[in-house]
């Protein structure tokens, strides 16, 4: 895997880079029976804008990922890896001995021909999926369940993984990349290793047109607006915001305000809060 930087022969290519992996297939088409239609929401919920600067983008089809990996104690062979346009990490098409085929999240060392197993008696090897109670302390895991049988919910993006610190009577202690230490039921399943495509964060988009292909619309600075449109707007030339604190277009705190709701049911499972940004 390498980050490829283009020659600076045009304005759009001047700062553009992409990740090209030798293990990812480029000539294979996705499996049709594992594709689903993906209706565009354009950042809207109930017709109202819930997330700004979203819309447009290239047409996509959703790849149905088996986050639970319900084929227990059945060996599966990786046919090939492919790039999923809906997520940052690569996905792997696995063919099981009973003839069934599924998409799963690919780990760092996974490649064509790799064998993966899911089950309580599966070997402790990267790519295999086991209950947390059967994984030794110190291992890095990904695609972790938060509730038994619900399917992986944590550590699913490119290059992400959580460290298994130890065990309690009923729970396992997991240290997240943010620094937070959390308790998870020992019966929950997790995949050993990190998610593939760890260099995803090194990609430089390079031009505005590629952002539009990804479904990201332009953003406008508040200081460039009129006072009627934004609290930071107005003034002659480039002026400081002149307020007590940076504000959103609706006058709320833009930086530093805690937005996490106090859920007593989930807060009791957090042993240590995440590291504060300096």
Model confidence over 207-216: pLDDT tens digits?
Answer: 899 999 999 9
Domains recognised in the chain with CATH numbers: 22-201 (2.30.30.30), 220-278 (4.10.950.10)
Using alpha carbons, list the distances in angstroms from residue 224 to 7, 182, 198, 232, 246: 33, 42, 36, 8, 14
The whole-angstrom separation of Cα 233 and Cα 220 is 11
For residue 134, with 0-12 CB atoms within 10 Å meaning exposed, 13-18 middle and 19 or more buried, which class applies? Answer: middle
**Greater confidence, 105 or 256?**
105
Res 277 pLDDT > 60 = no
Res 218 pLDDT > 90 = yes
Is-contact 158 203, C-beta < 8 A? no
**Greater confidence, 276 or 250?**
250
Q: Is the dihedral of CA 36, 40, 43, 45 positive or negative?
A: negative
Res 266 pLDDT > 90 = no
Question: What value does the mean pLDDT take over residues 79-100?
Answer: 93
The rounded mean pLDDT for the chain is 90
pLDDT confidence bin for 278, thresholds 50/70/90? very low
pLDDT confidence bin for 96, thresholds 50/70/90? very high
Q: Is the dihedral of CA 113, 118, 123, 126 positive or negative?
A: positive
Q: What is residue 37's predicted lDDT score, i.e. its pLDDT?
A: 93
Is-contact 210 56, C-beta < 8 A? no
H helix or E strand, kind and range, residue 165: strand 162-167
List pLDDT tens digits, range 56-78.
999 999 999 999 998 998 999 99
DSSP β-bridge partners for residue 191: 129, 142
From the list 80, 71, 117, the residue with the least C-alpha distance to 126 is: 117
Question: What value does the mean pLDDT take over residues 125-136?
Answer: 94
Place of tokens 């283009």: 6
Neighbours of 63 (CB within 10 A): 19
Query: How do 171-175 and 152-154 pair as beta strands?
Result: unpaired
List pLDDT tens digits, range 163-211.
999 998 899 999 999 899 999 999 999 999 999 999 998 889 988 999 9
Q: What is residue 169's predicted lDDT score, i.e. its pLDDT?
A: 86
The helix/strand/coil state of 181 is strand
pLDDT confidence bin for 15, thresholds 50/70/90? confident
Res 1 pLDDT > 70 = no
Non-local (6+) Cβ contacts of 190 within 8 A are 129, 130, 131, 132, 135, 141, 142, 143, 144, 145, 152, 164
From the list 237, 233, 195, the residue with the least C-alpha distance to 81 is: 195
Is-contact 199 1, C-beta < 8 A? yes
Share of the chain above pLDDT 90, in %: 66
Q: What is residue 13's predicted lDDT score, i.e. its pLDDT?
A: 83
List pLDDT tens digits, range 220-237.
999 999 999 999 999 888
pLDDT confidence bin for 276, thresholds 50/70/90? low
Question: What value does the mean pLDDT take over residues 17-34?
Answer: 88
Q: What is residue 28's predicted lDDT score, i.e. its pLDDT?
A: 86
């Amino acid at each position: 895997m390498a980050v490829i930087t283009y020659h600076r022969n045009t304005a759009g290519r001047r700062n553009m880079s992409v990740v090209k992996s030798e293990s990812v297939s480029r000539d294979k088409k996705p499996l049709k029976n594992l594709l689903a239609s993906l209706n565009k929401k354009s950042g809207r919920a109930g017709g109202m804008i819930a997330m700004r600067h979203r819309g447009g983008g290239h047409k996509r089809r959703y790849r149905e990922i088996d986050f639970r990996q319900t084929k227990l104690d059945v060996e599966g062979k990786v046919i090939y890896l492919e790039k999923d346009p809906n997520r940052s990490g690569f996905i792997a098409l696995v063919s099981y001995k009973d003839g069934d085929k599924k998409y799963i999240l690919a780990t760092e060392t996974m490649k064509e021909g790799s064998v993966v197993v899911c089950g309580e008696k599966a070997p402790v090897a990267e790519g295999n999926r086991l209950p947390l109670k059967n994984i030794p302390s110190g291992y890095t895991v990904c695609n972790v369940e938060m509730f038994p049988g619900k399917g992986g919910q944590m550590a699913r993006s490119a290059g992400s993984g959580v460290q298994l610190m130890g065990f309690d009577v009923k729970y396992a202690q997991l240290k997240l990349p943010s620094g937070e230490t959390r308790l998870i039921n020992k019966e929950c399943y997790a995949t050993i290793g990190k998610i593939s495509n760890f260099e995803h964060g090194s990609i430089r988009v390079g031009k505005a047109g590629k952002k539009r292909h990804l479904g990201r619309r332009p953003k406008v600075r508040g200081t460039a607006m009129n006072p009627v449109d934004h609290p930071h707007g107005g003034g002659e030339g480039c002026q400081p915001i002149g307020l007590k604190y940076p504000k959103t277009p609706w006058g709320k705190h833009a930086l530093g305000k805690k937005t996490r709701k106090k859920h007593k049911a989930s807060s009791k499972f957090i042993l240590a809060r995440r590291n504060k940004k300096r």
